[in-house]
Amino acid sequence: MASSRFIAVLVAGIVFHGVLSVAAEQLTAPQQSPAQASVSPPGPTDPKELETFLDGVIGVEMEDLHIPGAVLVAVKDGQVMVRKGYGYANAEDRTPVRPDTTLFLIASVSKLFNATAVMQLVEQGKLKLDVDVNTYLTAFKVPDTYGQPITLTNLLTHTAGFDDRSIGMNVASKDKVLPLGVYLAMRLPRRVMPPGDFISYSNHGVALSGYVVEVVSGEPFARYVDEHIFKPLGMAHSSFDMPDAWLLDKAVGYIYKDTLRREPMGYEQVYPAGSMVSTADDIARFMIAHLEHGRYGEAQILAPQTVEEMHKIHFTHDPRLNGGIAIGFFETVRHGQTILEHGGDLPGFASHLVLFPGLRFGYFISCNADNAKLRETVSRAILDRYFPKTADETAPAPPADFNDRAAKYVGFYRFNRYARYSIEKLSSLLSQAKVSCDGTGYLILSVPGGEPRKTVEIGPDLFMNTERGTREAYRTDASGSVTQLVTVDGAFDKLPWYETAPAQCGYLALLMFVFLATAIGWPIAVVTRPWRRPTRPHSGVLASLARFAAWLVVAADAGLIIFLIYTLLNVQASEFINGVPQRMVNALYVPLVTTPGAVVIFLLCCVAWRKKWWGFFSRVHYTLVALACVGFVPFLWYWNLLGFNY
């Protein structure tokens, strides 16, 4: 859910969610062979050895990534194997991280507690997973956009089809947090896809399921979770509504950009989706409960059959991926092991909870830096060290004829989690994935900010990552043309040429060239006019006003483009997740002036040709300027920059 830049959050990670942990890399592996089954189960068995191994991995990564503090806890067979704090909860005061008392914002890992609360009410017969969610809503209703109802299963598997929204999802102070139902009634995103078609990660969708818990239980969400999950498990240092007295124990969130900087603390409006604070010791109790069929000690928070229902896959894009999404958890099979997991990101924090139900093993890692690479490195290190790869995760040689068929897959793809109806859409321009063919039978998937991934065809429209052994698939329409690239936890829409980043950026660059040439060239021409030999008589006051009006419009549009590019690349994410900064609001007034100005300039261009103002080439130049001003309008409209769309 966060990044150091506006684009990274609004797209929310796009590069992959801001929010999900392993995105397109968390794909599949086959079952064990009889020979493997006779061998002792894989996984760590010696707590001291595991601790020593993790110390080496985490210590090196924290230093390389400039992460001030982290915490890790691992559990197995109902017991804690390793619990350890690393570095500092407060870098300035050098306060050490303690697994029993240091509070971390666990971000989207919070969703697992929300899902557990829903399943408790399902178990009690108060909720049903596959009933229209409007059945439970009284203050407002989800619009019937597609004639298909949205269910709790849709909400908890991110298949409800909501548009994305990040701006204003947080507020700067606790007193500005609205009641959950009030906020959702005002800010629930539009439905943009039929339910049950694709995973499109939605914080608002999960928050809506949390609101259903409120309505049905008659308790505020934070109090419900406290009474029915935290207290039974003895999680005394966990909360969705952190008391002010706990601030002294909360780790400070940081971002590293040339130097370590504090991230301002925010409060989530969609708090069931990501506002929980907790300690490593408390999270261990929750993991044990899920690994031990709903039980921790004497507490039984879910019946075994409910846990089984919650942990099984409820949606997958393609059964050949051998992975999908359960209730709350993302499920994959890798290195022969079924894995349940969820990652989480907020400005200043990154977390990851991973369970191996078949081995009764799990671990949780969190750090107080806006960097997901630590958790990704730790997860890969554990998987590679303790769980041998299976044969089916070894990529084969490419088919001999693949180069002849590769063109159908090549192109640009946009992650389907993006804002279609707000200014946030602009961030998706810089986060498109590119699929290309290297000419040797492999596809190369490149995502901004990530390492290129080489994939090889292993079945009809099915591909394997040659390094990790993970899978992804392509969907096609009736004509055989590719429409989507799908992974275990997300989908990418293949774009027509005019929506691709090169086409859009090229068009914008052309407009910018005309704008800058005019904005700079015309003042120079005016200043040097007295020293130049006149070529024709002056064309009159109206002609001068026409040229001056065009100069004002192009100068304003050029300034707007520069401002937008700077904002995308340099503004901190927390500025936008807490609301639109005033300078951005002010910038949105510019198109409201330049758009009608473009129409006026175009009309004056017609007059210029009729009355033969200036010379022929000057009229041609003015025409190009007029066309550029008018041509900027559809760009502004497409990217939701006409008006105040946020």
Does 47 score more than 70 pLDDT? yes
Mean pLDDT score, 401-414: 96
Q: What is the pLDDT of residue 10?
A: 35
Mean pLDDT score, 137-145: 95
Q: What is the pLDDT of residue 7?
A: 35
Q: Between these two residues, 12 and 456, which has the higher pLDDT value?
A: 456
Does 140 score more than 60 pLDDT? yes
pLDDT digits (tens, 9 = 90+) for 29-41: 333 333 333 446 7
Q: Is the backbone of residue 476 left (phi > 0), alpha (psi -120 to 50) or beta?
A: beta
- The whole-angstrom separation of Cα 521 and Cα 534 is 17
State the pLDDT confidence band at 213, using cuts at 50, 70 and 90: very high
Q: What is the pLDDT of residue 226?
A: 98
Query: What is this structure's pTM?
Result: 0.90
Q: Between these two residues, 537 and 151, which has the higher pLDDT value?
A: 151
Q: What is the pLDDT of residue 11?
A: 33
- The whole-angstrom separation of Cα 336 and Cα 356 is 11
Q: What is the helix (H) or strand (E) element at residue 629, kind and residue range?
A: helix 616-638
Q: What is the pLDDT of residue 614?
A: 87
Q: What angle do CA 85, 350, 229 make, to 5 degrees?
A: 80
- The whole-angstrom separation of Cα 489 and Cα 472 is 10
Per CATH, the number for 402-495 is 2.40.128
State the pLDDT confidence band at 258, using cuts at 50, 70 and 90: confident
For β-strands 337-346 and 330-334, DSSP reports them as antiparallel
Q: What is the pLDDT of residue 531?
A: 59
HSE of 191 in the Cβ direction (CA atoms, 13 Å)?
19
Does 3 score more than 60 pLDDT? no
Does 537 score more than 70 pLDDT? no
Q: What is the pLDDT of residue 527?
A: 64
- Give the residue extent of every domain in the chain: 19-393, 402-495, 499-638
- The whole-angstrom separation of Cα 133 and Cα 143 is 11
Q: What is the pLDDT of residue 572?
A: 66
In the 3-class helix/strand/coil scheme, how is 267-305 assigned residue by residue?
A: EECCHHHCCCEECHHHHHHHHHHHHCCCEECCEECCCHH
B/e letters for 244-279, b = 16+ CB within 10 Å, e = fewer, are eeeeebbbbbbbeeeeeeebebbbbbbbbbbbbbbb
Mean pLDDT score, 158-168: 95
| Structure-block tokens of residue 642 | 């006409």
Q: What is the pLDDT of residue 9?
A: 35
Q: Cα-flanking dihedrals φ and ψ of residue 600, to 5°?
A: -60, -45
Does 21 score more than 70 pLDDT? no
Q: What is the pLDDT of residue 574?
A: 64
State the pLDDT confidence band at 540, using cuts at 50, 70 and 90: confident
Task: Pick the range with the lowest mean pLDDT from 432-436, 534-538, 594-598.
Answer: 534-538
pLDDT digits (tens, 9 = 90+) for 178-205: 999 999 999 999 999 999 999 999 999 9
| Structure-block tokens of residue 44 | 């760590």
Task: Pick the range with the lowest mean pLDDT from 267-276, 343-352, 574-583.
Answer: 574-583
| Structure-block tokens of residue 446 | 């490149």
Q: What is the pLDDT of residue 33?
A: 36
Q: What is the pLDDT of residue 391?
A: 87
CA separation, residue 327 to residues 106, 200, 209, 216, 315 (Å): 18, 15, 12, 19, 9
Does 23 score more than 80 pLDDT? no
Does 385 score more than 90 pLDDT? yes
Mean pLDDT score, 155-183: 95
Does 395 score more than 60 pLDDT? yes
Mean pLDDT score, 509-514: 93
Interhelix angle 589-611/541-570, nearest 10 degrees: 150
Q: What is the pLDDT of residue 257?
A: 86
Q: Between these two residues, 597 and 430, which has the higher pLDDT value?
A: 597
Does 604 score more than 70 pLDDT? yes
Contact (CB, 8 A) for 348 and 253: yes
- The whole-angstrom separation of Cα 82 and Cα 76 is 10
Q: What is the mean pLDDT of the chain?
A: 90
Task: Pick the range with the lowest mean pLDDT from 23-27, 274-278, 284-288, 472-476.
Answer: 23-27
State the pLDDT confidence band at 530, using cuts at 50, 70 and 90: low
Q: What is the pLDDT of residue 169?
A: 93
Q: What is the pLDDT of residue 343?
A: 97
Does 525 score more than 80 pLDDT? no
CATH classification number, 19-393, choose in 1.10.1740.10, 3.40.1280.10, 3.40.710.10, 3.40.50.300: 3.40.710.10
Does 207 score more than 60 pLDDT? yes
> In this structure, which amino acid lies at residue 187?
R
Contact (CB, 8 A) for 355 and 362: yes
Q: Which of 455, 356, 623, 427 is closest to 5 using CA atoms? A: 427
pLDDT digits (tens, 9 = 90+) for 346-362: 999 999 999 999 999 99
